Structure 1
Amino acid sequence: MIDALCMSGAYPFRYLSMSTEAVASKLASEGFKHCLMFNLTALFHRDPWWANVEFAREDPKVDCSIHKLAVFNPDYEDKLRIREYSRMGYVGFVTSPIYHGYRLMRRSVISNLTEALSHGAVVILNLLEDLRQMHRAYSFRYRIMLGELSEALKNIVNKGDGEVKVLLSHFPYNDLAGLRSLYNGDVYVDFASSQVLGAPYNHVEELVKLYGASRLVLSTGFMMKYPKSSILKLQLSKIQDKDKEAISSVNAGRLYGIK
């Protein structure tokens, strides 16, 4: 299996911390051969540059291969940074509007996200968790709206060249269902919803109908969530076995270029 999105580092408001090695070792014990990981600590910096630099230097020896994702604030960084992150070996960019507080439709934001995609990287729009569970210090942060998300995706697609590798992560099921009436283009989604243990397994079946089995990826949200819940909700769903295989490894491998 491939975990399309997990995280290490520290979450200051929940006194939660786990090393890169510990996260990868746990995922290996659950049967994951590869994981795509970002450093959670970097998410709490307006400028995540140095946290990304430190994360890029980590090289733990574990059985689960780690492919690194840079935390990216497209309202703050520039094209030079994007090139540097790619040079460091980052295969994707994790950005979270509700943490960095930017509006998705700002011209500079769209330009930087499009630039990241032009380097062959994946862009992950990550809500991380339900706003109602967030610490009061972050209660003012901006919440992404479906109309804005739809227009942003259309803009990115229009500016892009070839397949647009955008992953929507930790979006509530109702938002993913509602988005489909506004945007019918290609986009990848995971089923790590805002619920504590993730989306019910029947939501997996519905998302296959809405987005197609080739556009769903298995994401655990570990260390913030329990990795087994993602595995079980895929196994318990009533989709075809070939679709389960695609979601558990094939799709993420294609999205991130893992062979």
Structure 2
Amino acid sequence: MYMSNAVYDVFRCCVRMPSASLSKLPAAARQFVSHVFSLLSSSQTTSSSNEKRANFSTPQANRRNKVEDRRMSENSGSNVIVQIHTKSIEKWEPNVREKELLRRTWSDEFDFLYDLGSAIYCYIFDHNPHCKQLFPFIANYEGDAWKHSKEFRTQALKFVQTLAHVVKNIYHMDRVEPYLYAIGQRHCRFAERGFKHEYWDIFQDAMEHALEARMKSLTSLDITEKEEAVKVWRTLALYTVVHMRAGYLDGLQGINRFPPLV
């Protein structure tokens, strides 16, 4: 739990309002939501301005997009499953340059958080409609009306809360692994709703797709910086899913490698 009950209740008020009024959210409310995300973790150490620019060390910097790999396999009629080696990512420690880019391209603004979370889930549902069964509230709406529901807005913001926690702790990566592992463990309860192991892949693809679109839209980055940012965000997405997947698989076997988070 990273919000007190009182704070979370107020936070939910920001996402329960009618969709048509979302863009008219009072400035004070938007600032409150942004402040909540900025407090999800402890304050971070910043690198000094005279630090040398580090070379990229991300273990997955040159890996190909998994969606494109799958599409190529499907078009060729091959049944080969694309294998992604994850051992090098398990203990990933972003270097100075990578941390700088992650912090620089992240935002705690309400619009950014909601748009990113919404884009991730829309991608998931568009590319794997079976995932909708994990969210029973969708059946209560006609057609795509669920996209404007308070339940969907709440879920979208929950997802980016996870990413916010990771970004805020990039200077304390020892805190991130158990956090993500615990989230994976909690997903075991969705197995009865139909959650499958392979769904972690579509979650990773969705994060990559949404974050890449975000990087390419930033006018504050030049072309080279955008390419670098896409690489490091892809790595962060893979790191995130690898540890959530590990927690999920262990949880199915009744294993928990970390003590419960307080």
If the length of structure 1 is used for normalisation, what is the TM-score? 0.24
Greater helix share, structure number: 2
**Bigger share in strand:** 1
Larger Rg: 2
